[in-house]
Amino acid sequence: MKDYEILKNYCKKIFLFGSGNYWYEDGAIGDDSSWYYQLYLWSLIFIYVFMTIFETMAVTIGDYPENETGDAITFSVSHTIVLLKIFSLLINKKLIRTTNRNMVEICEAYEEPTLMAEKYKYIKINVMGYFGIVYCTCLFYVVEGIRKVYAGSHFETVVTYPPSYVDESLFAGLIRVSTTIVLLIMMITMIVAVDTFTMAYLIMFKYKFITLRHYLERLAEDFYKMNDVNPRLAADKLTDGVVEGIIMHKELLRLAKDIDQAFGTVIALQLCLSSGSAVTLLLQIALTPMTFVAILKNILFVVSLFFLLGLFLCNAGEITYQASLLPDALFYCGWHACVWQPPRRSVRRLVLLACAQAQQPLVMKAFKMIQLSYGTFLQVLRGTYSVFALFYAQTK
């Protein structure tokens, strides 16, 4: 499946779940400027915002048991960051539309069906894995809420204020059930419109560099085959091919800046969320008496946070790695075997300039300062554990 189909299907689902139209073709998906769609979009955001405010009120002025206070802190911080990620994409909607067009068009003529099938399979596996972990976590929160009912308490998943902990009225029960439903809907918006959309972009961008490298390798193969028959024609085609490769590489570098501007905030916020929330959740597990189900829900929450962060940082690190392979592919394109050089267009000079540019490391960054790489992921893991160990030691 090509990038056009992948991105269009994504934008259709994003539009369906009320986060706007990010597709660059007018009228192909829907009109997100109509009054009824704007009502739909801002009603969802209004509900998400007010639930987050009520979660924050539960932390600041509510009187709850220790485990529910911990859940309120975790959700208030997590949902605040989720809202910031949603708003960051809404603000950059125009840029994302342009970036969608560029992502589709760059290297499109040289995409290989087998490589595109591999890319689609890779995206699909990652999306399904993340979706499964998130909703498995939500399931354990619901199961824990039901267990509380059988234990003589009330149903609780998302801790908000109102209602208070001692309020057992029907209205309070309806609020608790409603916030659970809102949580499940909010997770769909988060997964489809923000997290997996960003992840798919990084994977597709990585495969753009693989496509360019394969193009350069095929260019060398075609040159060597033709050079024995017609050296002059082989040199002309090699020169044209190298120029085309240089143009595609420059377009990819410009696209990298657009991706950084459009999605860098999402990745940076996820980095903060994964580290901060993980420390809170681990401290809850270590210091607060919990049931087996409550421990599982917290562990799954931590796993989902770091699973997504790993998808972001490792795919961004893979972009850096794939980009670093281009200089070799350019250098071995066959320029040294050219017995004839086109006038005013020396393939040797072109390859020299292209290699010099390709050797500059392409490192994806968040906020233009946080490097997105395998090393950063490992540093976050070690840093999170160090902070947890420090706080845990102080409580002993």
Distance of CA 125 to the CA centre of its chain: 14
- Average pLDDT for residues 103-113, to the nearest whole number? 88
Where do the structural domains in the chain lie, given as residue ranges? 3-395
The answer to whether residue 16 scores a pLDDT higher than 80 is yes
- 286: pLDDT strictly greater than 90: no
204 against 148, higher pLDDT: 204
**Residue 218 CB neighbours (<10 A):** 14
pLDDT tens per residue across span 229-245: 787 787 788 888 888 88
- Which of 56-60, 164-168, 174-178, 364-368 is predicted least confidently? 364-368
Q: How many CB atoms lie within 10 A of CB 254?
A: 11
Q: What are phi and psi of 373, to 5 degrees?
A: -155, 175
Q: Is the pLDDT of residue 207 over 90?
A: yes
CA–CA separation, 228 vs 53, rounded Å? 73
Judge whether 1 and 107 are in contact, CB under 8 Å: no
Of residues 369 and 325, which shows the higher confidence score?
325
pLDDT band at 391 (very low <50, low <70, confident <90, very high): low
Q: What pLDDT score was predicted for residue 293? A: 79
Q: Give pTM, 2 decimals.
A: 0.90
pLDDT at site 239:
81
Q: Is the pLDDT of residue 341 over 70?
A: no
Does the pLDDT of residue 278 top 90, yes or no?
no
CA-to-CA dists, residue 53 to 40, 72, 79, 81, 159, angstroms: 20, 11, 10, 13, 11
* Mean pLDDT, all residues of the chain: 84
**pLDDT confidence bin for 343, thresholds 50/70/90:** low
Which pLDDT value is given to residue 344? Answer: 57
Please name the amino acid found at residue 290.
M
How sure is the predictor about 302, in pLDDT bands with cuts at 50, 70 and 90?
confident
| Among 192, 184, 206, 205, CA closest to 85 | 192
Comparing C-alpha atoms, which of 143, 89, 113 is closest to residue 214? Answer: 113
Confidence of residue 378 (pLDDT cuts 50, 70, 90): confident
Taking the C-alpha atoms of 42, 45, 46 and 48 in order, what is their torsion angle to the nearest 10 degrees?
160
Helix extents (H) in the chain? 3-16, 35-60, 66-91, 93-105, 113-150, 170-189, 196-227, 231-287, 292-324, 326-331, 347-358, 374-395
